[in-house]
Structure 1
């Protein structure tokens, strides 16, 4: 057994004086659905509802300073805040302006008077620079959310617990990837123990920094970033974490669409009563892509976090409907004459429901542009709707999957 394995196991043992291990639970519904033996490592049930507490604990217990600073989209912030209060250390926590309010509020609760929160930057990387500049100016100790040896060592405790909780090692482990701290820590521990299951790494499609790094052979900064999966939307994977992950086969990295993740969030909430944030649902959502590959096999999905702001639920529902083909948006050229709207209503099928109706151009003399959102109980119903609109002479355009126009009008 190598030094890394021993250090990870020592960190895991030390954690038991502060917080309990998270459950590893068999999930019957997912097992039946995918024809596999599916287990969930429930990091969403840690004291701060994410695995980030582990890395913060391990790094901060080794620090000798009295002030710490970090940058985080939420979960690392909560872990640091919780440890600041537990250890009696002052902390300054930098968070993106776009961080969900629920995560900001919980960070304040966990840290109490020991932490100061500063909101800066629209994306994590701008927030990170602000925190690092603050440390350079004040001498505070910076605690990286992922690109730190002690943090990686702390996140490895997930793998330590997993191997002790299972009767036999898993055949396949499915891990979410953001900055790479969790995946690097777990892979490093498996390697050090000489017990390496197959691993699939899951990224949000709009933040695939590991895929980009593997393609380039080094960490690179993504030109664009979709911040919806805020717990894993990182524009550049860590240098230290990539050194551990650089031998990962590119075909073992899965990129899942943000809107489909919303379907998984809803399913887990409605069917299993499990509250997951978008990053926490990544590993479960990837089961759809693994399909026959996991049939009959023992699979562990790490549910990395459950800090979900329920104010986001309408957006999650909207995205899920669009991904499932149950909602579409059209711009319709509507004649400006009596009876035109009534004619359009006759075009609707029995399961079609108008969810939005808005004139975009009201001053036109002969025709007006209308934004209309339609929900249906049957994805196949839209083909018939569009055929009937053509037959009635209505000019229309589908905006549902148009990223530019969709951002402007939907």
Structure 2
């Protein structure tokens, strides 16, 4: 059987656990970009991500080959964990699931809910690669079956069922498919199913975890020295060896590094305008449309929204990062004269759309001036230039520290 035949068979097998996820034309994005934008809503799977597909296929095949295997182990930043938990409960086998200590609480709790008594969650490691090493050591000591989150032929085949459904649901060929990339399992599966003669592809990975771009540059999977874990569902330091074999021939200009702060603007846009809840990794394929807008006009584009496991406790951080990216919120060190009426004079210099989000004295002991940590929100980026001019004319020193990561991390 061909890869395509196996992917179709896997799709049918999965119907015993869940129905296919929707493929929706999104009017808002279609109008915005002048294209036919379709969203493959993997955020609407039973575990709110596509990861259930690879987990189902891998466990199903393992049980077919070794019916007596009852213990499965995995490492995951969250979505693979939930998929494995749900599938372990479905098949009545035991799962031990390692997750980074930094995994959002919402994902940890949902994993426990999906797995119930069938699974055990172990929190270990600050980054995924540390968690992976711990899980593999435990797996070897127990003689268990390891379930890779992406670097496994059965997992890749399982993720290819996304492509099988897109083909059936769209009813015609897409011009482009936009795929988020973490470890590469989804991208490897979809591109292997459609092949290079099918649609064109755009790959979106977080700027702080651009492992595919580095691997293509080096012609081999290569570990990033540092990663930003904000996009926790796709922040992988090193792309998989098996997945890279499927992706190695794609060009650098098809791979985009998406800024984490910009992803936040897309999360809020989709939530506020469309009522769609996307986690940072799930928003990657939508956010990258901004980078390819000139390439997609008039075309049929399918974006895979890979996950919707968003912890709403993170919403203030997402809003903060989005505002800073859009230039609507800044932090300053204000040099405030220590004289009667100085504060009133300062307040009088604020514009009608300027709102104080933070005001905190940092030093009060100076005789002539005091230092204030000042946060300002406004409605248009250009308002800050006008504010600076008014402050200078009024004799107030205003130092922008928004872009100074060392100082901002210390005092904000």
Q: 3-state SS of the aligned residue for 2:324?
A: helix
Q: Which residue in the other structure is 1:331 paired with?
A: 333
Query: Is 1:179 matched with 2:178?
Result: no
2:345 aligns to what? 343
Distance in 2 of aligned mates of 1:38 and 1:143: 33
Could you list the per-position Cα deviations for residues 223-273 of structure 1 after superposition, in whole angstroms to 9, with x for gaps in the alignment? 111111110111111111111111010000011111111111111111111
How do residues 299-314 of structure 1 correspond to structure 2 at under 5 angstroms? 299-314=301-316
CA offset at residue 11 of structure 1?
0.8
Q: Provide the C-alpha distance between the structure 2 equivalents of 1:117 and 1:111, rounded to a whole number of angstroms.
A: 9
TM-score normalised per structure 1: 0.97
Which of 271, 289, 292 pairs up with 1:290? 292
- State the 1:387 CA deviation: 1.4
- Which of 241, 251, 266 is the matching residue for 1:264? 266
Q: SS in structure 2 opposite 1:62?
A: helix
Output one character per residue of 1:67-95: Cα deviation in whole Å (capped at 9) or x when no partner.
01111010000000001100011111111
TM-superposition CA deviations, 1:172-198 (whole Å, max 9, x none):
11000000000011111112xx75201
Cα deviation for residue 341 of structure 1 reads 1.7
Residue aligned with 1:61, SS: helix
> Mind listing any 5+ residue stretches in structure 2 that lack a counterpart?
none
Q: Which residue of 1 aligns with 2:40?
A: 41
CA deviation string 1:359-405 (max 9, x = no partner): 22233333222111000112110010011122222222212222222
The structure 1 residue matched to 2:107, chosen from 80, 103, 106, is 103
Corresponding position: 1:129 with 2:129: no
How far apart are the structure 2 equivalents of 1:195 and 1:249? Answer: 15
Counterparts of residues 183-332 of structure 1 (less than 5 Å): 183-191=187-195, 195-332=197-334
Name the SS of the counterpart of 2:292 in structure 1. Answer: helix
CA distance in structure 2 between the partners assigned to 1:227 and 1:363 by the alignment: 40
2:73: which partner in 1? 69
Structure 1: segments with no counterpart, 5+ residues: none
CA shift at 1:7, angstroms? 1.2
Alpha-carbon separation, structure 1, partners of 2:244 and 2:288: 21
1:399 counterpart residue number: 401
CA distance in 2, matches of 1:160, 1:208: 27
Give the alignment partner of residue 387 of structure 1, picking from 381, 386, 389. 389
Q: What is the CA–CA distance in structure 2 between the aligned matches of 1:86 and 1:195, rounded to whole Å?
A: 37
CA distance in 2, matches of 1:255, 1:388: 38
- Cα distance in 1 for residues equivalent to 2:189 and 2:297: 27
| TM-score using structure 2 length | 0.97
Q: May I ask how many residue pairs the two structures share in their alignment? A: 407
**Which residue in 1 is equivalent to 2:360?**
358
